[in-house]
Amino acid sequence: MAAVTAPKQDRSRATRQRLLEAAVSCLAEHGWAGSTVSAVAERAGVSRGAAQHHFPTREDLFTAAVEYVAEERSQALRALPSDDREAAVAALVDLYTGPLFRAALHLWVAATGEDQLRARVTELEARVGRESHRIAVEVLGADETRPGVRETVQGLLDMARGLGLATLLTDDRTRRERVVSQWARLVNEALR
């Protein structure tokens, strides 16, 4: 068994942590097919057998990576600024262009074909999605009791997803900033 007892001392947890971080950056840079266990092990600076010890199968490794990514994304969400609405929208969109979202996207798409992963990914993504919505409402100062407000915020998040997807291959920053600025105005008016 891998964790019959919680890892008593930290060296083990350190390598486990490094393996997860390596898995995430590997996903973000080389995609699903390119993220072989040898690659993430090498990137983590450990042997392949060490990886095999912590995560007996490749699927174990990446299901753990899914939860790790979800946790990191939640954490990033809670660090959002809430002073200015324009800045809040920009920061929100930025969350969808970083390596975390890239990794999540690769997992998301890969989970389409892997039955085991799909359950985990859908479940966790639903959780992160709800949290994203909750925090978005908070930093935007939106009044969800008014009709249409909820859908407005959701649409904004969906647009952020779309921008993140577009950023995958070509990082067209200037275009993105213009779109975000305009949509921030639209949202601002709709929430007024």
Partner DNA sequence: AAAACCATGCATGCGTGCTTGATTGTTCTA
Partner DNA sequence: TAGAACAATCAAGCACGCATGCATGGTTTT
Binding residues vs DNA (CB under 7 A): 1-5, 7-9, 11-12, 14-16, 36-38, 46-50, 52-54, 56-59
> Shortest gap between Cβ of 115 and DNA (angstroms)?
14
- One of 5, 9, 170, 174 touching a copy of itself (CB under 8 A): 170
Within 8 A by CB and 6+ apart from 141, the residues are: 82, 85, 191
Residue 40 contacts residue 68 (beta carbons within 8 Å): no
DSSP states along 73-113: HHHHHHT---S-HHHHHHHHHHTTTSHHHHHHHHHHHHTTT
Q: Give the tokens for residue 60.
A: 């174990």
Does residue 101 interact with a copy of itself by CB under 8 A?
A: no
Does residue 118 interact with a copy of itself by CB under 8 A?
A: yes
Pick the closer one to DNA by CB: 14 or 126.
14
- One of 130, 134, 175, 188 touching a copy of itself (CB under 8 A): 175
Within 8 A by CB and 6+ apart from 190, the residues are: 148, 149, 152
Does residue 109 interact with a copy of itself by CB under 8 A?
A: yes
> Shortest gap between Cβ of 71 and DNA (angstroms)?
20
Q: Which does 73 bind (CB under 5 to 8 A by kind): a copy of itself, DNA, none?
A: none
